[in-house]
């Protein structure tokens, strides 16, 4: 039951209808049942693991609070987090670590006989594990009281709109919303429907139209440099459209129940620096890494070198979280290097901008920084998208080769599109950019649209829905559903 299937939309409509017809005291049970049914429809074999992780986190939270000393609270917290990380580590990282050790042993001429395990990655384990870790850490630091109602806590763990791909929510924000009696609100319903439709628009008319083009290049053994350049830029667009789409749908579905989830994206490809990019991209993960990795590592540290080390470790964790492959590790390290280099050279770069005079033209200066940041992000995504480390370094070399950026070669690469596919993608991409422009100008495009005359609003909403029905394609799952 995919987010963009008719079955899912009917499922949501049915749950929402029942939700507002039953008394508030039963609604947690309905949401919990909906979460487990949704998860079972996608990955029923791992439902027991979800239940076990819920139980471990619930019990550990209560035990932490009951401890009399800070030291004992810490021991209990680490014990609970260790169990949760073991669950994730076994399924997600065992074979990665095992094969890495095997390669090291082969290089050293040693015998290594631990067999490969036929493991399947449990759906959403990275997301609900991080939510669980934040819950236990917040109890330990006194930011969160343990939830005693097992039902409400279980809903926090299995709230179906954000279970599969986030946003990664904090318990202190989400659980209280479940306890408040949500009244039927026309604005919530219409806003939720619009966000869902917009998410499906981005997924089916942009992300999934680009997916086969990107794959045809990255899965080809003979891709040219220009093809790598174009495919990498298109992959960046695909990844943003895909992941922001699933966040839109999650936020929209939650709003139908009166629940407000955290915005996960703020036009990251218009960031003016790598630091700004990570304040705009996958915001809930960035905040999680900041609060539970970076800040603890920096506690008591004042030397710039120590802080830079903490930055590298934080981005290394981000890379490992994204996938069990050295390509993701390298991707994380590249962003860590970007972040450190950007901070270390900030003063020098400002002096250069002043010397050449570009700082006197703020609009040009801003767009220059946007372009440089976008290209740096694209370069890192060569490692994110490549199938192996060897391929990643070769593709990275091609991306940096000057002849790969030859305008003639770039134009020839667009022959990967059929004419009709290119025209359709270009049209809907322009619509998407106009929408983003209006968002930058009016802060919330949906509020701006709601103030337009009825005919104009109806025309736009009809355009979105009809475009999806007539031209939408969907042959791929959500990219972050695999994390």
Q: Residue 165 and residue 169: Cα distance in Å, rounded?
A: 11
Greatest CA span in the chain, whole angstroms? Answer: 75
Query: Can you tell me the distance from the alpha carbon of 311 to that of 290, in angstroms, rounded to the nearest whole number?
Result: 9
Residue 292: both structure tokens together: 């539970």
Q: What is the pLDDT of residue 418?
A: 86
The whole-angstrom separation of Cα 164 and Cα 483 is 9
Nearest partner of 320 among 307, 306, 335, 305, judged by Cα: 335
pLDDT by residue for the chain (483 residues), tens only, comes to: 788 888 999 999 999 999 999 999 999 999 999 999 999 998 889 999 999 999 999 999 999 999 989 999 999 999 999 999 999 999 899 888 888 888 888 888 888 888 888 888 888 899 999 999 999 999 999 999 999 999 999 999 999 999 888 799 999 999 999 999 999 999 999 999 999 999 999 999 999 999 999 999 999 888 899 999 999 999 999 999 999 999 999 999 999 999 999 999 999 999 999 999 999 999 999 999 999 999 999 887 778 888 999 999 999 999 999 988 999 999 999 999 999 999 988 888 888 888 888 878 888 988 999 999 999 999 999 999 999 999 999 999 999 999 999 999 899 888 888 888 889 999 999 999 988 888 888 777 777 788 888 888 888 889 999 999 988 887 667 777 666
Handedness of CA 438, 444, 450, 451 (dihedral sign): negative
The answer for residues whose C-beta is within 8 angstroms of residue 295's C-beta and 6 or more apart is: none
- Summarised one tens digit per residue, pLDDT across range 447-459 is 778 888 888 888 8
State how far the Cα of 169 lies from the Cα of 133, in Å rounded to an integer: 11
Residue 169: count other Cβ atoms within 10 Å of its Cβ. Answer: 25
Residue 395 contacts residue 386 (beta carbons within 8 Å): yes
Give the contacts of 92 (CB within 8 A, at least 6 positions apart): 121, 125, 126, 324
159: phi then psi, degrees, rounded to nearest 5: -70, 110
Cα–Cα distances (Å) from 153 to 90, 110, 145, 257, in that order, read: 25, 48, 12, 17
Spatial separation of the C-alpha atoms in residues 383 and 379, rounded to whole Å: 8
Q: What pLDDT sits at residue 475?
A: 66
Half-sphere exposure of 283 (CA within 13 A, CB side): 15
b/e per residue, 324-344, with b = 16+ CB within 10 A?
Answer: bbbbbbbbbbbbbbbbbebbe
DSSP three-state, residue 121: coil
Of the candidates 258, 288, 297, the residue with the CA atom closest to the CA atom of residue 27: 258
Q: How confident is the model at residue 481, as a pLDDT? A: 63
User: Dihedral sign, CA of 267, 272, 273, 276?
Assistant: negative
Fill in the DSSP letter of residue 268: G
Query: Each residue of 252-273: b (16+ CB within 10 Å) or e?
Result: bbbbbbbbebbebbeebbbbbb
Instruction: Give the residue numbers marked as catalytic.
Output: 322
Tell whether pTM > 0.85: yes
Q: Which two tokens stand for residue 342?
A: 């950007």
Q: What single string gives the DSSP state of each residue in 282-344?
A: SHHHHHHHIIIIIHHHHTT--SHHHHHHHHHHHHHHHHHHH-SSHHHHHHHHHHHHHHHHHHH
């Amino acid at each position: 039951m995919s987010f963009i299937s008719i079955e899912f939309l009917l499922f949501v409509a049915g749950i929402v209808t029942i939700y507002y017809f039953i008394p508030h005291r039963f609604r947690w049970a309905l949401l919990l049942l909906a979460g487990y049914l949704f998860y079972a429809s996608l990955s029923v074999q791992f439902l027991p693991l979800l239940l076990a992780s819920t139980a471990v986190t619930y019990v550990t939270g209560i035990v932490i609070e009951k401890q009399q000393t800070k030291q004992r609270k810490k021991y209990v917290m680490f014990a609970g987090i260790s169990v949760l990380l073991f669950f994730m580590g076994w399924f997600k990282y065992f074979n990665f670590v095992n094969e890495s050790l095997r390669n090291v042993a082969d290089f050293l001429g040693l015998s290594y006989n631990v067999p490969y395990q036929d493991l399947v990655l449990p759906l959403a384990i990275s997301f609900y594990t991080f939510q669980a870790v934040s819950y236990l850490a917040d109890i330990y630091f006194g930011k969160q009281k343990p939830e005693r109602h097992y039902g409400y806590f279980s809903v926090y763990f299995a709230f179906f709109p954000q279970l599969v791909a986030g946003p990664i929510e904090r318990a202190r924000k989400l659980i209280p919303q479940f306890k408040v009696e949500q009244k039927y609100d026309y604005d919530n319903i219409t806003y939720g429907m619009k966000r869902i439709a917009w998410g499906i628009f981005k997924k089916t008319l942009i992300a999934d139209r680009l997916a086969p083009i990107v794959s045809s290049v990255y899965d080809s053994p003979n891709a040219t440099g220009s093809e790598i350049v174009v495919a990498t830029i298109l992959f960046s667009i695909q990844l943003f459209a895909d992941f922001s789409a699933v966040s839109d749908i999650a936020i929209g579905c939650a709003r139908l129940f009166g629940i407000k989830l955290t915005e996960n994206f703020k036009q990251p490809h218009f960031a003016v620096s790598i630091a700004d990019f990570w304040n705009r991209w996958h915001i809930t993960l960035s905040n999680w890494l900041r609060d539970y990795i970076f800040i603890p590592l920096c506690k008591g540290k004042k030397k710039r070198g120590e802080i830079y080390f903490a930055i590298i470790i934080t981005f290394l964790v981000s890379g490992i979280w994204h996938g069990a492959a050295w390509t993701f590790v390298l991707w994380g390290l590249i962003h860590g290097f970007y972040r450190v280099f950007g901070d270390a050279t900030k003063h020098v770069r400002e002096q250069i901008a002043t010397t050449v005079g570009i700082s006197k033209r703020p609009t040009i200066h801003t767009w220059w920084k946007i372009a440089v940041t976008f290209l740096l992000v694209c370069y890192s995504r060569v490692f994110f998208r490549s199938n192996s480390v060897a391929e990643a370094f070769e593709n990275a070399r091609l991306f940096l080769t000057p002849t790969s950026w030859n305008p003639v070669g770039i134009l020839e690469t667009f022959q990967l599109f059929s004419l009709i596919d290119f025209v359709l993608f270009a049209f809907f991409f322009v619509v998407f950019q106009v929408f983003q422009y209006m968002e930058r100008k009016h802060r919330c495009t949906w509020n701006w649209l709601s103030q337009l005359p009825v005919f104009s609003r109806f025309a736009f909403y009809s355009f979105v829905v009809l475009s999806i029905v007539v031209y939408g394609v969907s042959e791929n799952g959500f990219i972050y559903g695999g994390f």
